[in-house]
Structure 1
């Protein structure tokens, strides 16, 4: 391997001179940080569009959790890639991982290209109604849910059958599996490459900058998701429902194409970095103007002179740099060494406790990440993108401030390990208290006709609609504005006529007319026998803002402790084990948190469902949840896991009290070596340089 290929920027044997000035830690931080930004955009985009995927392909939440586990399964299998990649050309391995991430985004867009928007989504457009309403009343009855007056046979086509969702589910799982490889290489190799090519004392600040850049990605991801989800799944059509209707499907597929192209560009950029960033060379103070034919020198004990100590010091530095490079280049990883390395890493008590702390902490906050959009929709009546575009950036503000502030503070103050790690304990207890607040942060529940909230029983067939035969009608909620009561459909409300595409009349099942009192701000503008398309929604702005602000507090506390946890992972193992230690951490988090977490919380969420999509005899996605049960079960479970994470933070604080987190020992040893070398030079007997006499 040539020296040029080791330290120069380029690709495929091309190393232009103008590019070599970019082979610096600052440039790598910039590219690596923006790469993390785009990857974070993809992660958030998946979270926001998750509920839309469930509705489009009729997927229960527990099944969604299983599908998303593909990301974590591949991260476990990628552990060996971390071992070989850590000993190889890390930027090239990292670029390959980014290429996999780009591929995963493009795979996610394939289900839409294969199956399109779906029959139900097309039927809710004005173009479809204009085309079919005059000729085919059956279609109007099925999707606008008017009282048919006679029992209609159930017709199952490919779009309604449960088996139709198998191929999209396989594609989503495959995309997550491929994405996991890229995520593993990004975190495992990028951070260790940065740590090995910069001063150890600068690592906290540099990590804070990269984390902060990556943290701004979710904000942009929320914006991208908001724009795409505001568009209907077929952007050139005009839907008759708005984005707060539970049946709304946004253009979820569009963002994946954009993100895939961006990641492909960054894969090329990151591959251009050299195997090792070149170190800055100090100016040589040696006098190089010696004559070629120099007279032989003789050393005696009685001559006064001074030897330039800087020459010895500089020579020593050059030898150290050269030796390190040779060792790294000559190290060839083998499978037997890999097993020995794993045994050494797994037997590290500090690393084990730090990993378990990460596992339980992530488990405790996983429902607010994976199912954030669903939580906001169910608890605060937001749209698929409208809630996250508010809560997401507010919470991310706390995260960015935490990363930048903690990185700067740790780099400048360098607190003792006990003080730094005890902050995680304090912050963890505060997070537990915040989750207790979330249990009681409830929004008023508007009544749904046919659902008894106290007993959680349902009966949508009453005396006023029994003749309508509404059993086969799809869920299409309507709202009686006068009483603020939601009906399962216009059929269940006993409506027999359609005033327009959003208003239904002659409804026989509506409550008695009630005049608004003086404290009510709304006025009745529609006749009491009409209902409008969409559910009745309460005003949840106050509770939504409480959740957003407290989320910002939690994210701030978590991010301030993140850098300390990463430093523990770096410093509690040998330098040669850092990449593998990062891989083991990712494996722990994936195996014990990110794989079972979405499945567990998905099962908890499904247990609170009241109205399921009936897809030809099998349950599809959930349309309506028991809000109180949803909130209590999810937050209480998450709080317990967060508390367990705090307990392991206490163990890390105790075991890591003597860790050298900032590399100060290495710097002190280097200074002592230089000082001792200088003293020895000055104590050498006087030297004289004179021509040797001829015999």
Structure 2
């Protein structure tokens, strides 16, 4: 078995259809794993949903859609009796349609949350360029606030402040979640109604327009997941049919190993590193050092996250086009070999048939010979 492994592996890796299929699945798995890993965080940061709700929606909506899509893909394969090329075209078509649907995610964007000193100035001017010293203003200069603190509060003016101290608050009432901070001087700078100088715990809610977009985002997410997963079963059948029977178990093992190691491990790492470049405010650990990101630039997050996902899938389509050309040659070669082998088998059968006929004639001639009758 050990001696046969290397020649068998060479034979498998020498199959161009298998190599192209492997490249396509590795690239698409990178895109898929990166998207699935950071989609809850995307929902949380972009649409203002809690982390628990984002994960719950992912599990309850997307996973059943994917399962139904893979089952439906198998039903289509069986009903229409798709061959190798038919399976390849079906998988490519569903992936391409899901790709075009995913482009609509780029248009379903929400504006950045209004956070004083980070996304807007203390006077409420948008298009603000964040720097650490921009958290301080004349309204909180005498409060000795820490720029590392993250305890957001929402003002009556709809602007979030990093902490009550940075909001310039000097007194408070209530306790726990019901705490209200009063006499917040920074709120007065951007408040259109003088006198509302109070803030409450928590970030300000996003605009209603963003809340209206979120159900459409979920619906499109379910639809695109279903359509993309339709090609899962035909793609797997394509892998099985383009490999020799004695190589199928090894091919499946290498395919599983390659997708897990070359997509499952690196994708979350580089997706996370690229997404972190859109962070506006980092938290800090108790013992020092940088902690988790407190707030992202949502516009940049959307472009980076969706752009990277769609970019990987675009690259995979170029490999698919190359694979179609190789697959056609592979099918023609297999058909030619089948015809050649069939002709050879037919010729062999004809020779055997002619030989048996000649033998029967010889036996009959021998039985009717007069010399044989005289001797008898």
Query: TM-score if structure 1 supplies the norm length?
Result: 0.43
Whether 2:197 is the aligned partner of 1:529: answer yes
Whether 2:111 is the aligned partner of 1:444: answer yes
CA deviation profile, 1:340-388 (whole Å, cap 9, x unmatched): 3222221111111111111122222333211111111111111012123
What secondary structure does 2:186 align onto?
coil
- Matching of residues 220-619 of structure 1 within 5 Å: 334-452=1-119, 454=127, 456-458=129-131, 459-471=134-146, 474-480=149-155, 482-500=156-174, 501-502=176-177, 503-511=180-188, 512-514=190-192, 528-538=196-206, 539=208, 540-615=210-285, 616-619=287-290
Shift of 1:419: 2.5
**Contact kept? 1:418, 1:654, Cα under 8 Å:** no
Shift of 1:472: 6.0
What secondary structure does 1:429 align onto?
helix
What secondary structure does 1:395 align onto?
helix
Distance 1:618 1:483 in 2: 33
Distance 2:297 2:303 in 1: 10
**Contact kept? 1:420, 1:564, Cα under 8 Å:** yes
Judged with a 3 Å threshold, the aligned counterparts in structure 2 of structure 1 residues 348 and 455 are, in CA distance, closer, same or farther, namely farther
Distance 1:403 1:598 in 2: 24
**Contact kept? 1:394, 1:549, Cα under 8 Å:** no
**Contact kept? 2:87, 2:235, Cα under 8 Å:** no
Q: Where does the alignment leave 5 or more consecutive residues of structure 2 unmatched?
A: 121-126, 333-337, 343-348, 354-359, 361-376
Distance 2:311 2:81 in 1: 32
Distance 1:417 1:581 in 2: 17
CA deviation profile, 1:392-446 (whole Å, cap 9, x unmatched): 4333343233222221121232123222211222223223323322222111333
Q: Which residue of 2 aligns with 1:299?
A: none
Distance 1:452 1:410 in 2: 52
Q: Which has the higher helix share?
A: 2
Shift of 1:496: 2.7
What secondary structure does 1:510 align onto?
helix
**Contact kept? 1:473, 1:491, Cα under 8 Å:** no
Judged with a 3 Å threshold, the aligned counterparts in structure 2 of structure 1 residues 343 and 420 are, in CA distance, closer, same or farther, namely same
Shift of 1:566: 1.0
The higher radius of gyration belongs to: 2
Distance 2:322 2:231 in 1: 15
Shift of 1:497: 2.6
Judged with a 3 Å threshold, the aligned counterparts in structure 2 of structure 1 residues 559 and 432 are, in CA distance, closer, same or farther, namely closer
**Contact kept? 2:148, 2:284, Cα under 8 Å:** no
Distance 2:166 2:75 in 1: 61
Distance 1:472 1:420 in 2: 58
Count of aligned positions: 323
What secondary structure does 1:612 align onto?
strand
Q: Which residue of 1 aligns with 2:315?
A: 644
What secondary structure does 2:142 align onto?
helix
CA deviation profile, 1:562-607 (whole Å, cap 9, x unmatched): 1111112222223332222112112322343222221211111110
**Contact kept? 1:421, 1:652, Cα under 8 Å:** no
What secondary structure does 1:504 align onto?
strand
Distance 1:467 1:559 in 2: 58
What secondary structure does 1:467 align onto?
coil
Distance 1:562 1:338 in 2: 29
**Contact kept? 2:87, 2:234, Cα under 8 Å:** yes
Shift of 1:536: 0.9
Distance 2:320 2:41 in 1: 30
What secondary structure does 1:457 align onto?
coil
**Contact kept? 2:113, 2:119, Cα under 8 Å:** no
Q: Where does the alignment leave 5 or more consecutive residues of structure 1 unmatched?
A: 1-333, 517-526, 660-664, 670-675, 686-695
Q: Which residue of 1 aligns with 2:304?
A: 633
CA deviation profile, 1:486-536 (whole Å, cap 9, x unmatched): 0001111122333122322232211354359xxxxxxxxxx7222111111
Shift of 1:559: 1.4
What secondary structure does 1:464 align onto?
helix
Distance 2:240 2:86 in 1: 18
Judged with a 3 Å threshold, the aligned counterparts in structure 2 of structure 1 residues 473 and 354 are, in CA distance, closer, same or farther, namely closer
Distance 2:312 2:263 in 1: 10
Aligned-residue RMSD, C-alpha:
2.9
Judged with a 3 Å threshold, the aligned counterparts in structure 2 of structure 1 residues 588 and 338 are, in CA distance, closer, same or farther, namely same
What secondary structure does 1:622 align onto?
strand
